[in-house]
């Protein structure tokens, strides 16, 4: 459930008409709803009430400081994958003791930063990484608390580009080598093994792959304990999907049951890394119709938002529901159209032959479920400035990231002296 709904004939974010924000902020812009963020966090964490658990919001899904801070206030921890994300989490007020550091390519200075602030756990993805972390920690006279991310070789049944738990994927250590890798790592100075980590993919709409992976992890924890390791932490990753196109994913409660069924009685702290589930449906991208063009074969609705602002349709064939800001009435004409942006490539297509209420230039539309992997994946392709982000809370809103000026974008480049016009 989210807090974007029609009232008085137009689409609102909580108690504010999106058209009013558009008038003041300009389009395109991302708009997030505090009430929705809070609700999703509470529903997810509620599935583990009374369980020794830590919900580490996956900052990569939406790293706006105001979004992280909203979740930090509810007690969220953070899953980060770079020093930049780690700094964001800390600045938003998440204590280091609730932060896990994931990612396949951590650099020594990132490890050093994490060790200095004292994060809860490094999720280590390879033996070379464990060795570098050991060297960095030893040099600093510190101990890095680690879990290895294991690759359980299960099919997450999601889009190939966001499936991570098959043996062919770059993530985690190979299942058949886990035993040896733990034994070797236990001998490394500056390293304390405390857990096991798994993350099989994103936008999963079926519980079975989770169940398979979690059961395998359960067996693994028992085996590692038999081999003498003190496993106190099990990180089960993120990945629970959201309803983009009408497919209803499992509820957090049923996901929780699968997790607890596998791991509930193992005497470990359970760590979860949800991203999309928390922020996905808490955000929309609002855009204005620039032109409506009758092509030779079809109608094109040309928007002022483009693939550089929301890349999911181009990159993952992602479906985003499109609402007109004006509420359609019973006699509104519904017509199929290709919804596209102004960027100069055919991939800049948000939807093909989508049935939409008839729109005219100047009308506003909202892409739903755009809170996760939207603004964070934006670029300035075609020298289009990153779009602003707005956070609504009841009947108030704040711009939580400004639209940069074109001057600021041009200023990022420098021209070498040999090109000076004397």
Assess 85 for contact with ligand LLP (CB under 6 A): no
Helix 252-263 vs helix 34-46: angle between axes, to the nearest 10 degrees? 30
* Options 55-63, 257-265, 333-341, 358-366: segment touching ligand LLP (CB under 6 A): 55-63
What does each C-alpha distance from 174 to 127, 154, 248 come to in angstroms?
11, 12, 32
The alpha carbon dihedral of 293, 296, 299, 302 has a sign of negative
| Terminal-residue alpha carbon distance, the chain | 62
Assess 172 for contact with ligand LLP (CB under 6 A): no
Strand pairing report for 349-357 and 334-340: antiparallel
* Options 20-28, 235-243, 256-264, 348-356: segment touching ligand LLP (CB under 6 A): 235-243
Q: Are 55 and 43 in contact (CB under 8 A)?
A: no
Window 200 to 219, contacts with ligand LLP (CB under 6 A): 202-203
Assess 316 for contact with ligand LLP (CB under 6 A): yes
Catalytic residue among 344, 412, 415, 419: 344
Our CB check for ligand LLP shows the closer of 249 and 324 to be 249
The 3-state DSSP class for residue 276 equals helix
Q: Cβ atoms within 10 A of the Cβ of 50, count? A: 5
The per-residue DSSP string of 180-193 comes to HHHHHHHTSTTEEE
* Partners of 334 in the β-ladder: 357
Q: Of 332, 281, 287, give the one whose Cα is nearest residue 309.
A: 287
Assess 273 for contact with ligand LLP (CB under 6 A): yes
Binding characters for ligand LLP, 361-400, by CB under 6 A (x = yes): -----------xx---------------------------
> Of these, 58, 137, 307, 359, which contacts ligand LLP (CB under 6 A)?
58
Shortest distance (Å) from residue 307 CB to ligand LLP: 13
Known catalytic residue at 31: no
In the structure encoding, which two tokens stand for residue 247, read together? 């497919």
Shortest distance (Å) from residue 58 CB to ligand LLP: 4
Assess 256 for contact with ligand LLP (CB under 6 A): no
Shortest distance (Å) from residue 75 CB to ligand LLP: 18
Q: Of 230, 234, 127, give the one whose Cα is nearest residue 188.
A: 127
Rounded Cα gap, residues 336 and 298, in angstroms: 8
> Of these, 28, 237, 249, 313, which contacts ligand LLP (CB under 6 A)?
237
* Options 195-203, 224-232, 379-387, 412-420: segment touching ligand LLP (CB under 6 A): 195-203
Assess 102 for contact with ligand LLP (CB under 6 A): yes
Q: Of 250, 364, 258, 276, give the one whose Cα is nearest residue 22.
A: 364
Q: Which residue ranges make up the site for ligand LLP (CB under 6 A)?
A: 58, 60-61, 79, 102, 162, 199, 202-203, 237-239, 273-277, 312, 316, 372-373
Give catalytic residues, as residue numbers.
344
């Amino acid at each position: 459930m989210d807090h974007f709904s029609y009232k008085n004939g137009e689409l609102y974010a909580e108690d504010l008409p999106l058209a009013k924000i558009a008038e003041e902020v300009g389009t395109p812009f991302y708009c997030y709803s505090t009430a929705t963020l809070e609700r999703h966090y509470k529903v997810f964490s509620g599935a583990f009430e009374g369980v020794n658990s830590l919900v580490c919001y996956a900052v990569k899904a939406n790293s706006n400081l105001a979004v992280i801070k909203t979740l930090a206030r509810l007690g969220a921890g953070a899953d980060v994958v770079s020093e930049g994300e780690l700094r964001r989490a800390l600045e938003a007020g998440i204590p280091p003791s609730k932060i896990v550091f994931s990612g396949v390519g951590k650099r020594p200075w990132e490890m050093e930063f994490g060790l200095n602030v004292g994060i809860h756990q490094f999720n280590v993805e390879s033996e070379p990484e464990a060795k570098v972390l050991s060297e960095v920690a030893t040099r600093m006279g510190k101990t890095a608390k680690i879990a290895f991310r294991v690759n359980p070789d299960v099919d997450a049944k999601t889009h190939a580009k966001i499936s991570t738990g098959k043996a062919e994927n770059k993530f985690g250590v190979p299942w058949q080598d886990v035993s040896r890798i733990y034994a070797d790592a236990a001998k490394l100075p500056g390293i304390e093994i405390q857990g096991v980590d798994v993350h099989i993919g994103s936008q999963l709409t079926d519980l079975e792959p989770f169940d398979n992976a979690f059961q395998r992890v359960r067996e693994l924890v028992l085996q590692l304990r038999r081999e003498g390791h003190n496993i106190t932490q099990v990180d089960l990753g993120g990945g629970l999907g959201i309803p983009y196109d009408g497919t209803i994913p499992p509820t957090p409660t049923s996901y929780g049951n699968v997790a607890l069924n596998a791991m509930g009685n193992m005497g470990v702290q359970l760590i979860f890394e949800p991203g999309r589930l928390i922020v996905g449906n808490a955000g929309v991208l609002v855009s204005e119709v620039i032109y409506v063009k009758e092509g030779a074969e079809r109608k094109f609705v040309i928007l002022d938002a483009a693939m550089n602002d929301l890349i999911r349709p181009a990159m993952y064939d992602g479906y985003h529901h499109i609402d007109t800001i004006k509420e359609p009435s019973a006699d509104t004409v519904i017509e199929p159209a290709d919804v596209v942006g102004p960027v100069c490539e055919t991939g800049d297509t948000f939807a093909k032959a989508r049935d939409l209420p008839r729109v005219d230039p100047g009308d506003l539309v909202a892409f739903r479920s755009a809170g996760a992997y939207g603004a964070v994946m934006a670029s300035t392709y075609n020298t289009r400035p990153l779009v602003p982000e707005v956070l609504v809370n009841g009947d108030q809103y704040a711009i939580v990231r400004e639209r940069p000026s074109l001057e600021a974008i041009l200023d990022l480049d420098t021209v070498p002296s040999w090109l000076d016009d004397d």
